[in-house]
Amino acid sequence: MTKRYALGIFEDEDVLLHAVENVRAAGVKVHDVFSPYPVHGIDDALGIERSRLPIAAFFFGMTGLAFALWMQIYMLGFDWPMIIGGKPHIALPAFIPVAFELTVFFTCHGMAITFFTITGLYPRPKVPVMDVRSTDDKFVMAIELDETSSQFPRLTQLLRDNGASEVNQKEMTTK
């Protein structure tokens, strides 16, 4: 789906932070902010809700733990029992390192895949970027426009008043 955005370009993260607060206070909904590095406090300023990714992570971890324990107990206890160092077939202390590793493995891969899927940041040939300078030294605030872009002059004024060095319009195909 193609949408139009007003892009305010900022030179400085502090200016950007205050601009975000002021723009939101003026009743404008900020679509997103793009920055070369994570800006402290930007989540709170944008009013972004806390991610539910940790909950997913917990369940990925539990899956990994359960899988690791099942795998080892089944393999070494039932499918092909072997005596190793005179220990019982199902020797839990020996299973813990593998259980730990698989818990971590499932958690991090599950989280990464979930994150890329939900945010639409998965790798692909053509990546939609609002303004390529946001990967270098500029901070970009994107505000969604309606069909006719009628608010654009007012937004330009608002962004300029709050320290934007330039304001552009861009058409984007998202997700």
Partner 1 sequence: MATLTHQDSATAEQLVVTDGARKTFITIIVAGVVVLIIGLLAAIMGWGAEEHAAAGEAAGHAGAGASAHHEGNPVWLKRLLVSLWHSNVFFLGVSTIGTVFLAINYVAYAGWSVMVKRIAEALSAWVIPGAVIMFVVFLIGRHDIFHWTHEGIMEKGNPNYDAIIAGKSGFLNIPFYLIRTIIYLGIWAYFSWKLRQLSLAEDQLGGTVWFHKSINASALFLVLYAVTSSMAAWDWVMSVDTHWFSTMFGWYVFASWWVSGIAAIALTAIFLKQAGYLKALTSNHMHDLGKLMFGFSIFWTYVWFSQFMLIWYANLPEEAVYYNQRLGGFEGRYTGIFFFNLVINFVFPFLGLMTRDAKRQMIIMKIVCIAILIGHWSDFYLMFMPGTLKGESGFLIEIGVAAIFLGAFLIVFSRRLASASLVPVNHPFLDESVHHTT
Our CB check for partner 1 shows the closer of 21 and 144 to be 21
Gyration radius from the chain CA atoms: 25
Our CB check for partner 1 shows the closer of 21 and 166 to be 21
> Using the rule CB under 8 A, which residue among 27, 38, 93, 123 binds partner 1?
93
Is residue 79 classed exposed, middle or buried when 0-12, 13-18 and 19+ CB atoms within 10 A define those classes?
exposed
Residues 112-171 contacting partner 1, CB under 8 A: none
**5 touches 170 (CB < 8 A):** yes
Structure tokens at 32: 């997103």
Query: Nearest approach, Cβ of 168 to partner 1 (angstroms)?
Result: 27
Residues 20-79 contacting partner 1, CB under 8 A: 21, 40-41, 44-45, 50, 54, 58
DSSP string, 94-119: HHHHHHHHHHHHHHHHHHHHHHHHHH
Per rule CB under 8 A, count of chain residues that contact partner 1: 17
Query: Nearest approach, Cβ of 41 to partner 1 (angstroms)?
Result: 4
Give the residue from 61, 50, 67 showing the smallest Cα distance to 108: 61
| 3-state secondary structure at position 60 | helix
> Using the rule CB under 8 A, which residue among 26, 48, 96, 129 binds partner 1?
96
Query: Nearest approach, Cβ of 148 to partner 1 (angstroms)?
Result: 35
Segment near partner 1 (CB under 8 A); pick from 88-96, 107-115, 128-136, 159-167 = 88-96
**Which amino acid type is present at position 90?**
I
Can you tell me the distance from the alpha carbon of 55 to that of 94, in angstroms, rounded to the nearest whole number?
Answer: 29
Could you list the residues that contact partner 1 (CB under 8 A)? 17-18, 21, 40-41, 44-45, 50, 54, 58, 85-87, 93-94, 96-97
